[in-house]
Structure 1
Amino acid sequence: MTQDTRPVNLDFDLPAQPQSLVKLAALLREDDINLNAVSALIEADMSFAAAVMKAVNSPLYGLKGRVQSVQQAVTYLGVREISAIAYETGLQAAFPQVPQLLAVWQRASIRGLLMGRLAQALSMEAWSAHTAGLFEECGKAVLYRHAPEIYAPMLAAARDDIHLVELERTAFGCGHDDVGANLCEAWGLTPAAVASVRHHINIHTTMRLPRVSHRYICVLSALAHTIVNDPAQLDDVAMKLAPQAMLDQTSLLRGLHRVKDKIDEALANA
């Protein structure tokens, strides 16, 4: 798949970022993050608090014993993972709650967690990586919201994301990768996360990184995709992409397998 350089139509009615997420983003931008303020903000939003408690008490997070409060969840998992759960909840709430998008949100949850923990294990900026994973397929939700009668059968008929983008460009003049990147920009995600969302399909297909800053997030996107879809190719993908992002291959593989083993164990328990 080659990078499509045609002008694209991005004239879609994008959902506004929920005010709770606007406030949360402001707290996360502070140099010294106030954990109590983050906890209080999430607890004040019933949907956020419920989502956090449900998520952290699932086997996926691998905690021993039941977490009783958002403050306790922040203490155990850290502000980044708890805030990401709130972002995930806010993102889903902005779109129709329909069965056709269920798989999109399920993949987003796993991918965001993988990318965030990989970044953390490799001493990279984990928040951008986690949000990039959460938002990677969000363009599909935008297109569904824009024209459900057209997009639902298209989503069902597509063989894979490459085929889906071809169908989308024919119908709408753009693909969900471009539309998703546009939503990321509108919601204030970092440029590195936006770039990863915009280029993820081409990266997964060609194993070539775009000429953007902070290319490591693009690498983490490809690694998370491989863990979920073709884990036997994981080392090969890591070896191909590490030099392009000027990452040490040995350190990348070590951190990658450490995180993968923990996630595999949690998923097995789930």
Structure 2
Amino acid sequence: MPVDPALRRLDIDIPTQPHALAQLTPLLAQEEVALPAVSALIETDMALAAAVLRAVNSSLYGLRGRVQTVHQALTYLGLREVAAITFEIGLRAVFPAAHELEPVWRRAVRRGLIMGRMAQRLGLVDAWAAHSAGLFEECGKAVLFRHACAPYRAMLQAAGQDDVTLVKLERDRFGVSHAALGAALCESWGLAGPAVASVRHHVAVQQGAALPDGSQRATVLALSALAYCLMQDPAALEPTVQRVAAPIGLQPEKLLEMAHRVQEKLQDARQGYGSL
């Protein structure tokens, strides 16, 4: 999908999707995905396959034994989580290695897991759309870091964890926010519409804005808001649940219980098998 011409006029480059991910995207869109085809595709790139296996064998996924092949990883973890690992590695690879971006990537992995697993439990939205939305949520920061390294480093330092402040700084300097650039990257890489909408609107919704129309878009954004609370502002979890439950047609008690269960499962995996 082409990038919005208005963003192109800003002369901020949106990186091209890596070849392996471009081939993986249509496979994931198939109604019945052939796992051997997915594993064979990932294994055509030896460096990518090795990186996937390293990630799968980390403590975050809580596997009791080491996985030796991509096909084993698919068997134990499932298609969605292995695909997300592959996309995370591919996404990182198109940007410069920088310690300023490391927190972005760490949050991306955990957020994607939280949103994907919440979506799976709820059954209201495609779990891959939710997982990919969480994974790509902050990718626009990497776009701006690559575009203007020194000025953007200063912005990240000035804003800290406050994305509202960061967005204001970005718009003042570049005329665009990382949320808009991240959504443009998601569109150009072929992610689903609800994931694109979540990346575009996540900062506003996390700060209390109303969910947009459309059940799928609203649900993914609600999960983004919940993941934000679980990761960065636990005290805001219950008020956020009360705010987003009705628009997506759920009882607040059910939504809160589901969020806590997903968080506990991920914490158990990390505590039981070591820290990342």
Q: TM exceeds 0.5?
A: yes
State the identity %.
Answer: 52
Corresponding residue of 1:30: 30
Match of residue 72 from structure 1: 72
Distance 2:90 2:40 in 1: 16
Q: How does 1:157-236 map to 2 (within 5 A)?
A: 157-159=158-160, 160-214=162-216, 215-236=218-239
Q: CA deviation at 1:207?
A: 4.9
| 1:111 maps to 2:111 | yes
- When residues 147 and 212 of structure 1 are mapped into structure 2, their CA distance, relative to the original with a 3 A threshold, is farther
Gaps in structure 2 of 5+ consecutive residues: 1-5
In 2, Cα distance between the equivalents of 1:112 and 1:202? 19
- Cα distance in 1, alignment partners of residues 158 and 117 from structure 2: 33
Quote how far apart the aligned CAs of 1:222 are. 0.5
Count matched residues: 264
CA distance in structure 1 between the aligned counterparts of 2:47 and 2:82, rounded to whole angstroms: 13
Shift of 1:83: 0.6
Q: What residue identity is the alignment partner of 1:30? A: Q
Does the CA-based 8 Å contact 1:118-1:220 persist in structure 2? yes
Deviation at 1:212, TM superposition (A): 4.2
How far is the alpha carbon of 1:24 from its aligned partner?
0.5
How far, CA to CA, are the matches of 1:249 and 1:60 in structure 2? 28
Query: Residues 1-270 of structure 1 correspond to what in structure 2 (within 5 A)?
Result: 11-123=11-123, 124-159=125-160, 160-214=162-216, 215-268=218-271, 269-270=274-275
| CA deviation string 1:195-244 (max 9, x = no partner) | 10010000111152123441100011011110011223323311221112
Please report the RMSD computed on the Cα atoms of aligned residues, expressed in angstroms: 1.6
- Contact 2:62-2:270 within 8 A present in 1 as well: no
Distance in 2 of aligned mates of 1:10 and 1:197: 19
Structure 1 gaps of 5+ residues are: 1-6
Moved more, 140-149 or 82-91: 140-149
User: Is contact 2:118-2:223 (8 Å) kept?
Assistant: yes
TM-score, L = length of structure 2: 0.91
Moved over 3 A (4+): 7-11
TM-score of the pair, normalised by structure 1: 0.93
